[in-house]
Amino acid sequence: MQQQYPFKEIEQSAQTYWETNQNFGASEISDKPKYYCLSMFPYPSGRLHMGHVRNYTIGDVLSRFHKMKGFNVMQPMGWDAFGLPAENAAIKNNTAPAKWTYENIEHMKTQLKQLGLGVDWNREIATCKPEYYKWEQWLFTELFKKGLIYKKTSTVNWDPVDGTVLANEQVIDGRGWRSGALVEKRDIPQYFMKITAYAEELLSDLDKLDGWPEQVKTMQRNWIGKSFGCEVEFPIIGQDGNLKVYTTRPDTLMGATYVAVAAEHALAAQAAQNNPALADFIAKCKRGSVAEADVATAEKKGMATGLFVTHPLNGEQLPVWVANYVLASYGEGAVMAVPAHDERDFEFAIKYKLPIIPIFENTVWRTRELSRPRDDYEYYEFENKKWKNWYSEKNEVITINSGCYNDLFPEEAFDKIAADLEKKSLGKKRTQYRLRDWGVSRQRYWGCPIPIVHCEKCGEVPVPAEELPVVLPENVVMDGVGSPIKKDPRFYETTCPTCSGKATRETDTLDTFFESSWYFARYASFDSTTAMADERANYWLPVDQYVGGIEHAILHLLYARFFNKLMRDVGLIKNDEPFTNLLTQGMVLKDGTKMSKSKGNTVDPQELIDTYGADTARLFMMFAAPPEQSLEWADSGVEGANRFLRRLWKATYDHVELGQIAAYTTGDLSAEVKAIRLQLHSTIEKVTDDYGRRHSFNTAISSVMEMMNALAKLEGNDEITRSVRQEVLQNVALLLSPIVPHICQAIWAELCPQSHILEAGWPVADQSAMVQDSVEYVIQVNGKLRGSINVAKTETKDALEKLALQQPFVQKFIEENMSVRKVIVVPNKLINVVVG
RNA sequence: GCCCGGGUGGCGGAAUUGGUAGACGCACGGGACUCAAAAUCCCGCGCAGCAAUGCGUGCCGGUUCGAUUCCGGCCCCGGGCACCA
């Protein structure tokens, strides 16, 4: 055995060994329970970043741990290969997106292999390959035929100078990132998937996901946003027809003092026809980005349309305003405004001097301040221009200023008003989801072509299965102005599959979330040429453990859940949900912000691997923070991880230099050696729990470090001590091997040359080594730590109380005028003497 | 703005079900070894104090024998907001 820790040699030879012996090839033929461990596949940006190292190490630790526990493990890897950065890089470097992408894949694959992942590389997929995207084109046509995909117009960011659609990311402060031109909103026809048809199931099935973090489920619930409310119709004065709004608070209808519509609303356009100022205002609203965050944080602005509507209950005239805070895409694109009980309406009403009528009064407040005149408190609240939410779900408020609806609790008012509206045919109760259908059309090149042919005679015709895939040409020139396939007649000129007449292909491509919504199923059927997913998918699915960044908590995970249900409903797979257990990894931050290429604050993991080796990189990543927390990157600390591995190597070297010995099985031990065995087996128990249940890799590592620190202090080279040392080192190699597999394989080979670590299995704690007959009690006086005592485990509560009171460090704190009020004994832990 | 997280020594973090705050590691200081340096090993290390002891988990308040942990109200930081992936 070499005296120095030769990480390069060790890692190289371990990786070659795994590849030669195909140790991580996954097969469906096995007696063992299956364990499908999936890490979110990378976008091939060029080089591995720290987030990747963290993500794939976590996945690998869980995979290797379960393999050792006796599971039939599959851990695949692939490439989420379509996307915007490839186009940008292509323009910048004067190359084709495909070439750039494939080169990146090659490089990153080498890097991933250097990390020593137990991945089945035979199943590798890249989403930009026709044999992959063929199947999503097939699914698209099936869903199109089922009516789950439809076309409608929707709003995009339009750069008037470059003449191109921009992603939200490409809009900076309302301007195009390249041209600097003020971005406009433009409506264009696009394909949508009816995810709303699955809203209820996507919501209710969250309750089945016991293995998901509560946080993620809550975010998804709120995103789907099921609400119970009411449609309310306001007859438009001087016109036929009503203005329809949706509200979750019909109980506040008597407090409505105006109605507001989005700039995109039909009524706004109508009013603007002979009102140039309004037309100008609407045009201004249509500037800027379509991102909701931008809309919601913009200063509230509005303009009266000159139109009025009739309040459906009291018949009063309410003005119709156009307001930039009303979202066109939610509800009806119009709201009834109740300034007294909605913060945004309040702000708007103050700004434009619109009336504010409070229709709730806090019952608690009313009782307390009954003598105060009502006008006075209204003045008091509003003069300070502070909106105060008196409304509460707990029936602490009661209606006022509401005519025949006075003196009601909110729920009573809700029902009564809804009933009256229904009687007048001016409204009815309605369940509403915040979730919107998913627009999947992109006016970009580097994506999966939408398999639709446009025929003048036959309309939109899905490409028949036998003609799939519609192949995206890869050898293209990106000139920065629009998508190459939109300008290439060889791509778009075709014949209609139905009538054989002249027709054109759709030149939009699919949102790249499309590819990542079903790849988990493809890994199981990676080489099938006859189906998107075959019976092997039903063996491996659902994924037992999914690992990925918290930033995907909503969109990606929701779309993947949606696709799983779509694939189930076309008969491909049987499971309802794709991911049984989810681990959302925290972000790797630097200088307090997300480490990302666009922010230019990345640390290259390659340097780390070159200098210290993959094991050090993996150990440090797992040790620095628990996986779900964000990890603030600091260069120092890596050294400490490397130091530990060198110590582990040295300890093994010192031990094996004295000759081979079998691990301890039986025989009398000194107290000191017995304590080492106690610690070892407690550590096995703790580490097993940390990996399996808690996913707390940092504490697993620290308890192994403590074990090694204790072992270092153990002296003596007699046979029995050496046999215990052998036992400790063997178990440490096993316990750490999911995290640092290369060094553990190497030291195992030195400790036990006749066997291989991959055959050894996960260790089980020896309960007999953990038997203790005394226990340490911490003693507090009035909750403050004052000392501790070591007593026999069998001691009774009475005896413990007496013993505690006898201690001088307890007596010291009982002053003369004090008496012992009570003594609290927490078994095996603590005694608290309460005096006073 | 809305939804979801987080805040503990100089730093990363630990404390698993309300029961010893600061495990483990980094950095730092002191010492040993060395001609010297690196590496390694040993000791110290929340703050104040000579000490006894007191204070201390973002801030304010509450519940409890006991609160980093539970409750109410704030402040700050991070993630997501539907075309970054």
Give average pLDDT by consecutive 10-residue segment, chain A, 836 residues. Answer: 94 98 97 98 95 97 98 98 95 94 98 98 98 98 98 92 90 89 91 98 97 96 95 96 94 94 93 95 87 88 96 96 91 91 84 85 49 36 45 62 89 94 96 96 97 97 97 92 93 97 97 98 98 98 97 97 98 98 91 70 88 96 95 86 96 96 95 96 98 97 97 94 97 98 98 97 96 91 91 91 92 85 93 92
CA of A825 to C1' of B71 (A): 26
Nearest nucleotide to A81, CA against C1' atoms: B85
Q: What is the DSSP letter of A472?
A: P
Q: Is there contact between A185 and strand B, defined as CB under 7 Å from any strand atom?
A: no
Give the per-residue pLDDT at A371: 35
Alpha carbon dihedral A144, A148, A154, A158, in 10-degree steps, equals -50
Q: Is the dihedral of CA A544, A549, A553, A559 positive or negative?
A: negative
Residues 230-289 of A with CB under 7 A from strand B: none
Q: List the A766 CA – B16 C1' distance (angstroms).
A: 22
pLDDT reported for residue A629 = 93
Check residue A330 and give its pLDDT: 86
d(CA A814, CA A805): 10
CA–C1' nearest nucleotide, residue A551 = B79
In this complex, the answer to whether residue A434 has its CB under 7 A from any atom of chain B, a nucleic strand, is yes
- Closest nucleotide C1' to the C-alpha of A154: B83
Please classify residue A21 by burial: count the beta carbons closer than 10 Å to its beta carbon, then call 0-12 exposed, 13-18 middle and 19+ buried: exposed
201-230 of chain A touching strand B, CB 7 A cut-off: 214-215, 218-219, 222-223
Q: Can you tell me the distance from the alpha carbon of A410 to that of A37, in angstroms, rounded to the nearest whole number?
A: 49
Q: Could you tell me if residue A381 is left (phi over 0), alpha (psi between -120 and 50 degrees) or otherwise beta?
A: alpha
- Does nucleic acid strand B have an atom less than 7 angstroms from the CB of A699? yes
Residue A154 to residue A142: CA distance in whole angstroms: 23
Residues 708-747 of A with CB under 7 A from strand B: 709, 712-713
Distance set, CA A37 to CA A66, A77, A110, A305, A520 (Å): 9, 10, 21, 58, 10
Model pLDDT, residue A396: 64
Round and report the angstrom distance from CA (A592) to C1' (B59). 22
Contacts of A72 (CB under 8 A, 6+ apart): A26, A27, A30, A32, A33, A34, A35
Distance measured from the CA of protein residue A383 to the C1' of nucleotide B38, in angstroms: 72
CA-to-C1' span, A589 to B25 (A): 19
Calculate the angstrom distance between C1' of B19 and CA of A46. 51
Distance A635 CA to B45 C1' (A): 22
Distances (CA, A) of A335 to A231, A241, A341, A410, A482: 10, 16, 13, 19, 38
Q: How far is the CA of A362 from the C1' of B41 (A)?
A: 71
- Nucleotide nearest A344, from its CA to each C1': B1
Q: How far apart are CA A641 and CA A633, in angstroms?
A: 14
DSSP A710-759: HHHH----SHHHHHHHHHHHHHHHHHHTTTSHHHHHHHHHHH-TTS-GGG
Q: How far is the CA of A136 from the C1' of B22 (A)?
A: 53
Give the separation between CA A396 and CA A363, rounded to whole angstroms: 6
Residue nearest to nucleotide B16 (CA to C1'): A694
Question: Angle A614-624/A7-21 helices, nearest 10 degrees?
Answer: 90
A471 touches strand B (CB under 7 A): no
Q: How far is the CA of A688 from the C1' of B80 (A)?
A: 34
Kindly state the DSSP code that residue A691 receives in the 8-state scheme: I
Nucleotide whose C1' lies closest to the alpha carbon of residue A436: B82
CA atoms within 13 A on the CB side of A680: 26
> Gap from A214 CA to B70 C1', in Å?
19
* 3-class DSSP assignment, residue A5: coil
Q: Which residue has the tokens 């186009």?
A: A87
Phi and psi, residue A688, nearest 5°: -60, -45
Residue A74: beta bridge partners? A36
CB A244 within 8 A of CB A232: yes
State residue A816's pLDDT score. Answer: 77
- CA–C1' nearest nucleotide, residue A634: B12
> Which pLDDT belongs to residue A376?
34
Q: Which nucleotides of B are covered by protein (CB under 7 A)?
A: 1-6, 11-16, 19-21, 23-27, 39-42, 53-54, 65-67, 77-85
A793 touches strand B (CB under 7 A): no
A187 touches strand B (CB under 7 A): no
A644 touches strand B (CB under 7 A): yes
Q: How far is the CA of A40 from the C1' of B3 (A)?
A: 23
| Measured CA A294 to C1' B80 distance, in angstroms | 14
Helix, coil or strand: residue A37: strand
Number of residues that this document lists for chain A: 836
Among chain A residues 47 through 86, which have CB within 7 angstroms of nucleic chain B? 80, 82-85
CA nearest neighbour of A15 among A79, A68, A60, A78: A60
Structure tokens of A286?
């249509």
Instruction: Provide, in whole angstroms, the distance separating residue A787's CA from nucleotide B33's C1'.
Output: 39
Distance, angstroms, CA A788 to C1' B32?
35
Which residues numbered 576-615 in chain A sit less than 7 A from strand B, measured from CB? 587, 589, 592-594
**From the C1' of B42, which residue's alpha carbon is nearest?**
A713
Using the CA of A689, which nucleotide's C1' is the nearest one?
A: B16
**Token pair recorded at residue A287:** 């500037």
Q: Å from A779 (CA) to B17 (C1')?
A: 21
Q: Which helix (H) or strand (E) holds A825?
A: strand A820-826
Distance in angstroms: CA A823, C1' B21: 23
Q: What contacts A298, CB < 8 A, 6 or more positions away?
A: A288, A324, A325
Cβ burial A426-438 (10 Å sphere, 16+ → b, else e): bbeebebbebebb
* Within A 96-155, residues with CB less than 7 Å from strand B: none
Q: Judge whether residue A784 contacts strand B, using its CB and a 7 Å cut-off.
A: yes
User: Does the C-beta of A551 come within 7 A of strand B?
Assistant: yes
For A258 and B53, how far is CA from C1' in angstroms?
Answer: 67
Residue nearest to nucleotide B13 (CA to C1'): A625
d(CA A538, CA A572): 9
Closest nucleotide to A776: CA versus each C1': B20
Nearest residue to nucleotide B26 when comparing alpha carbons to its C1'? A637
Determine if strand B comes within 7 Å of the CB of A172.
no
pTM of the model: 0.94
C1’ B37 / CA A611, Å: 21
Nucleotide nearest to A593 (CA to C1'): B78
Strands of A588-590's sheet in order across: A593-594, A588-590, A631-632
Nucleotide at minimal C1' distance from the A812 CA: B52
